[in-house]
Every structure is written in structure tokens, then in C-alpha cells.
Amino acid sequence: MTVPSIISSITSSSPISSELPLTVDRPRWYVAYTWARHEKKVAQHFAERGIAYFLPLYTSIHNWNKRRVEVSLPLFPGYIFVHTHQHARYKPLSVPGVAHFVGTAKAPTEISAEEIELLQKAILMGRAVEPHPYLAPGNRVRIASGPMSGVTGTIQRTSAGCRIIISVDMIMRSVAVEVDAACLTAA
């Protein structure tokens, strides 16, 4: 069983508004690609330098030397979300362990604040969250009631019920969240 956790320098008392006009240099979400297994170290460097970031983690049980150890692992291995102004987006690239932004050679691609909010909402719900292979758009569903209402994703049936797969298209990664099938509707 996995238990979600979160490392983030964004606080819930300061919501991110996406209602500002695009001409204003407002902070935007980007995805930074990190060296292998350096996500937590990069997050630590971001915190020390005052760079806003979001690193979703999940807890997993590993067996080492006949011992069961609980470890926190990144939900998206190799990636960390960065919230920065367009004119200051070079700062995260100066952090040791950051390889580059996800995007084109000319500029990083912005990720929507809604996708980040959906991920944060799914993790903060306290439900079992775990990495899942990326699924191409298929049968999309929307959660109609409950605290996660409005979240859309792809449904997957399991022996224990069902779960919804939330995909981040830009990095081709997905997470699975267990939900009650009674609160799902077609998207």
C-alpha cells in the first residue's frame, strides 16, 4: 500500500491565480528534468534558493537485507515542477542536478496551473497514489461528487473497485488514484 506525501514550497494559504492576463509576467509552472535519483536533492536546493517547486512523493515498502523499509519516492521519477517567472526561469537551471526544462530548444513549455492543482488535490486527499504507466487518451471520466469533484482522467477497473488515472501529457507520466465508481460520470 502506498501513502501519499508531498514536498512543496507552495503553501495552501497562497493560491495560484490563473486569472491574470498573459501580458503580465506572472509565475508559470514548468517541468525540470533532473539527473537520475536527484529529485529530493534538487528540491532541497530549490528551497535553499527560494525557488518555488512541487515534488509529489509516495511511500513504498522495499525489502533490503531481510528488512522491510518504508521509503518516499518521487511520483514522477526524473521530474520536478518549478513555479517561476518567465524572466527568472534560468535560476532553476543553475541548481546542481537540473539537466534542462521540458520543452523545445527555444523555450520551456508551460504546464497549466490546473494540472498542478489537480495533482496537489489528488495527493492531499490522502488516498492511495502511486505511479502508473502513461495511458493515451481513451475513456475519459469525471468525478461528479465528493472532495475530488471535477477531476477528469481515465478509468481503470481493479479487483478492489476502480481507480482514475490522471495524466500529465507534457512529460508523458500518469498517477493512479483509487475512487468510488458510484461518483464517476462520462467526461
Amino acid 130: pLDDT: 86
Q: Grid coordinates 537551471 are at which residue?
A: 93
Amino acid 23: pLDDT: 55
* Residue 139 grid cell: 475513456
Note whether 53 and 124 are within 8 A (CB): no
Query: In the predicted model, what is the mean pLDDT of the chain?
Result: 83
Note whether 26 and 20 are within 8 A (CB): yes
| pTM as predicted | 0.71
* Residues 6+ away with beta carbon under 8 Å from 55: 6, 7, 8, 39, 40, 43, 74, 80, 81
Rounded CA-CA distance 176/35 in Å is 24
Rounded CA-CA distance 39/108 in Å is 19
Identify the weakest region by mean pLDDT among 7-21, 80-94, 102-116, 134-148.
7-21
Average pLDDT, integer, range 152-174? 84
Note whether 59 and 70 are within 8 A (CB): yes
Predicted confidence (pLDDT) at residue 16 exceeds the cutoff of 50:
no
Return left, alpha or beta for 99; rule: phi > 0 is left, psi -120 to 50 is alpha, else beta. alpha
* Residue 40 grid cell: 529530493
Identify the weakest region by mean pLDDT among 59-63, 114-118, 125-129.
125-129
Tens digits of residue pLDDT in 27-52 = 999 999 999 999 999 999 999 999 99
Note whether 73 and 28 are within 8 A (CB): no
Average pLDDT, integer, range 146-150? 83
Amino acid 75: pLDDT: 94
Tens digits of residue pLDDT in 123-140 = 888 878 888 766 555 578
Domains defined for the chain, CATH in brackets? 3-186 (3.30.70.940)
Predicted confidence (pLDDT) at residue 171 exceeds the cutoff of 60:
yes
Tens digits of residue pLDDT in 89-110 = 899 999 999 999 999 888 899 9
* 141 against 34, higher pLDDT: 34
Amino acid 7: pLDDT: 63
* AA letter at 181: A
